[in-house]
Amino acid sequence: MSQRKNAAGSVNAESHLFKDHNGVVDPSGKRQGPKSTAETPARSIATMLQLNPEVTRDQEITNLLIKRFNKTAFQQMMVNWIVNTNRSFTTAKDPDLRAIFEYLNPSVSITEAHISDVTVRTIAVREFNANKLAVRETLRKSPGQIHIQFDGWRSGNRHALYGVTCIFRSPDNRPRKCVLGLPGLLGRHTGENIAGEILDIVREFEIEDKLGYFTLDNASNNKTTMEILGRELGFNWKKRWVRCIGHVVNIVVKHMLFGQDPDAFEKKIYDGQLTAAREHEQWRKRGPVGKWHNFAVEVNRSDIWTDVLKKVQQVESQLSDDPAIQAHEPVGVVVDNATRWLSQLAMIDRALVLQPFYDPFIQRALSEWNKANLTKSGSARKGARMPFFLREENRITSNDWRVLQALRDILLDFQLVVKALEGDGQGKHRKAVQQDEIEPPLSGTSWDLLHAYEYLLESLESAKKIAVSLPDFEYLAVNINLGWMKLDEYYQHLNDSPVVYGAAALHPAYRWALFDDLWGDDTKRRAWITKAKAVVQEFYVSASNFLTALQPQNQLILGVALHSATLDLSKPTVGGLLDRSGLLFGVRISCSEEETSSYSPK
């Protein structure tokens, strides 16, 4: 005991001498001497900014810089910026960025406020965990159901992640959304693995009894996931699954572009097993879109051919009498990708821009290739291989151009609908789209799905008639019909879940009249009206019971009792059920949404 006391006393004495007597004793050699007066923050800032501490004004500036800098707040802001802008955590160590911070306020350096990539992660995780309790409490107090979305994503550094978000109403009855988790998936993305991650998150936030609807794509693993979730949490998974309209459109368009079984075609193309020649042939079999894809890929891979294409555009623009061509600026091709049909639309758009220059380019490219690769006798030199796009069977014909134009016109309708449905019912937050082309205008609310499906089916019906008028129309007509059948198949899936019918029926401007307008003139579809009414009536009662059990005061929301046994929606009204339709049916119909914090009638 005495030895420990002596050791402690020795350490205390040593510390006293080191701190108060300019480091007189330092046997360990680990301590640096105390900072001199010149190294204090005030003098360091004054020195760095060339201020004179003896001058009152300069001293005030120095004191202000010291006083206004908060090391913790600076580090928090740094982490927020890195996370919100999706930057690499190593950005925090960038020397140029650090130099900027130090230039703006030397206190960053003096207080050692810079953080590393490890610190960024530590702070982010700490804040996430610190706020989790508040999020859980907010979700528990939500006056309605909590609706879930999740989808897979692969980061640039090959991490397989699943983003899980929710849509709900805050205690003050405003629509909100929140990221619940971003779990990593190791191994195969089976429905069992996905369901396990979703269940963990749902239970972590204690919202098992408040779950509403799930907006997902139609992948087979999602079906397995929903079956497991329904079994574990005790709900009818078929009625809770809302198909994401964005994914539906993607599938429909792929059928129009690539024909039967587009998934098998894309798997064959993009698994990397085909030689360039075989891949080219597979694309060529897919008609004009495939032929132009081959052209775009081959030209894009070659700096020489890209340069020739731009030079041809420049020359033709100067020689043309057409004002539109004269004003044209040379551009390259656009190459589509494997996952987004909008990339195919962009590729076709660019193809039609380049149409006036295609034939002159082929002539110029063929001439240059012949000069470089043909002997005087006209035979190809040994080893010379003519580019695919110059071969006669691969060239774009006048009929091909007409098909590409027709496809573009169809795809523009799909683009219009998708962009409109990306919204959340609040025009000020949505991307600008030509809403006057769709009647009624779409805004991303649940009931808009009915109008969207009808609009697209009518668009494809019109496209069928146009296709028949084209030469060699069989290819286009068959693919349009495949797209129509796939779209109609998903339209039928609206019968599986009551949410869309319910949202439309409770809309004060629609009621049952909407279903009569859409389906009343079609003998086959009249049966849909009867079924829709039964589905909505059943769901109305169950949803009313849910809200009543959750919070008794919900019975009189907006002056209409929710426990009513019958639902009279025979006449459109103004007001009344609009807000309650939002409370019961606040479900996203698209997987990509704009941020919102203001009121929506969903």
| 57 domain residue, yes or no | yes
Which of 351, 370, 396 is where one domain is finished? 396
- Looking at the structure, do residues 348 and 457 belong to the same domain, yes or no? no
- Looking at the structure, do residues 348 and 414 belong to the same domain, yes or no? no
Instruction: Give the tens place of pLDDT for each residue, 322-354.
Output: 999 999 999 999 999 876 789 999 999 999 999
- Residue 350 CA to chain centroid, in angstroms? 24
Per-residue pLDDT at 363: 96
- Looking at the structure, do residues 370 and 411 belong to the same domain, yes or no? no
Per DSSP, helices labelled H in 285-436 are: 288-301, 303-319, 323-326, 341-373, 398-421
Average pLDDT over residues 503-531: 86
Average pLDDT over residues 410-422: 89
Among 45-59, 204-218, 460-474, the least confident range: 45-59
Q: Is the pLDDT of residue 495 over 70?
A: yes
Per-residue pLDDT at 45: 59
Closest CA to 359 of 402, 405, 313, 323: 313
| 596 domain residue, yes or no | no
Q: Is the pLDDT of residue 543 over 80?
A: no
| 77 domain residue, yes or no | no
- Looking at the structure, do residues 167 and 218 belong to the same domain, yes or no? yes
Average pLDDT over residues 243-253: 90
Q: Tell me if the bond preceding 262 is cis, omega within 30° of 0.
A: no
Task: State both tokens at 484.
Answer: 């129509």
- Looking at the structure, do residues 378 and 295 belong to the same domain, yes or no? yes
Give percent helix, percent strand, percent coil of the chain, each to the nearest 5.
60, 5, 30
- Looking at the structure, do residues 444 and 568 belong to the same domain, yes or no? yes
Q: Is the pLDDT of residue 1 over 70?
A: no
- Looking at the structure, do residues 317 and 280 belong to the same domain, yes or no? yes
- Looking at the structure, do residues 416 and 513 belong to the same domain, yes or no? yes
Q: Is the dihedral of CA 349, 312, 388, 298 positive or negative?
A: negative
| 176 domain residue, yes or no | yes
Q: How confident is the model at residue 81 (pLDDT cuts 50, 70, 90)?
A: very high
- Looking at the structure, do residues 391 and 509 belong to the same domain, yes or no? no
Q: Residue 43 sits in which domain range?
A: 37-68
Q: How confident is the model at residue 429 (pLDDT cuts 50, 70, 90)?
A: very low
Query: What Cα–Cα distance (Å) separates residue 449 from each residue in 230, 452, 494, 571?
Result: 24, 5, 9, 21
Per-residue pLDDT at 276: 75
CA separation for the pair 387, 49 (Å, rounded): 64
Query: What Cα–Cα distance (Å) separates residue 260 from each residue in 287, 484, 519, 576?
Result: 13, 12, 29, 47
| 164 domain residue, yes or no | yes
Per-residue pLDDT at 38: 43
| 98 domain residue, yes or no | no
Instruction: Give the tens place of pLDDT for each residue, 124-173.
Output: 999 988 889 899 999 999 988 999 999 888 776 777 888 899 999 988 88
| 536 domain residue, yes or no | yes
Task: State both tokens at 12.
Answer: 């205390």
Closest CA to 71 of 115, 34, 118, 103: 115
Tell me phi and psi for residue 228, to 5 degrees: -70, -45
Closest CA to 222 of 200, 252, 244, 201: 244
**369/553: higher pLDDT:** 369
Q: How confident is the model at residue 273 (pLDDT cuts 50, 70, 90)?
A: low
Rounded (10°) angle between helices 398-421 and 245-258: 170
CA separation for the pair 175, 446 (Å, rounded): 14
Q: Is the pLDDT of residue 562 over 50?
A: no
Per-residue pLDDT at 25: 45
- Looking at the structure, do residues 204 and 151 belong to the same domain, yes or no? yes
The helix/strand/coil state of 214 is strand
Annotate 25-68 with DSSP letters as a single string: --TTS-PPPPPPGGGSHHHHHHHHTT--TTSHHHHHHHHHHHHH
Q: How confident is the model at residue 227 (pLDDT cuts 50, 70, 90)?
A: very high
Per-residue pLDDT at 206: 94
**486/547: higher pLDDT:** 486
| 109 domain residue, yes or no | no
- Looking at the structure, do residues 41 and 28 belong to the same domain, yes or no? no
Average pLDDT over residues 377-399: 88
Domain with 161 in it: what CATH number?
A: 3.30.420
Average pLDDT over residues 494-519: 87
Average pLDDT over residues 576-589: 44
**502/561: higher pLDDT:** 502
Task: Give percent of the chain with pLDDT exceeding 70.
Answer: 74
Instruction: Give the tens place of pLDDT for each residue, 13-39.
Output: 555 544 444 444 455 555 555 544 444
- Residue 465 CA to chain centroid, in angstroms? 35
Q: Is the pLDDT of residue 260 over 60?
A: yes
Q: Is the pLDDT of residue 557 over 70?
A: no
Per-residue pLDDT at 146: 94
Per-residue pLDDT at 16: 52
Instruction: Give the tens place of pLDDT for each residue, 180-224.
Output: 998 887 777 888 999 999 999 999 999 999 999 999 988 889 999
Which of 340, 375, 396 is where one domain is finished? 396
Average pLDDT over residues 83-96: 94
How many domains does the chain fold into?
Answer: 5
Q: How confident is the model at residue 535 (pLDDT cuts 50, 70, 90)?
A: confident
Q: Is the pLDDT of residue 448 over 80?
A: yes
Per-residue pLDDT at 87: 92
End-to-end Cα distance, the chain:
74
Burial per residue of 438-453, b for 16 or more beta-carbon CB atoms within 10 angstroms, e otherwise: beeebbbbbbbbbbbb
- Looking at the structure, do residues 282 and 316 belong to the same domain, yes or no? yes
Per DSSP, helices labelled H in 493-575 are: 499-505, 513-519, 523-550
CA separation for the pair 222, 242 (Å, rounded): 11
Q: How confident is the model at residue 376 (pLDDT cuts 50, 70, 90)?
A: confident
Contacts of 270 (CB under 8 A, 6+ apart): 338
Q: Is the pLDDT of residue 59 over 90?
A: no
Q: How confident is the model at residue 300 (pLDDT cuts 50, 70, 90)?
A: very high
Q: Is the pLDDT of residue 428 over 50?
A: no
Which of 18, 49, 68 is where one domain is finished? 68
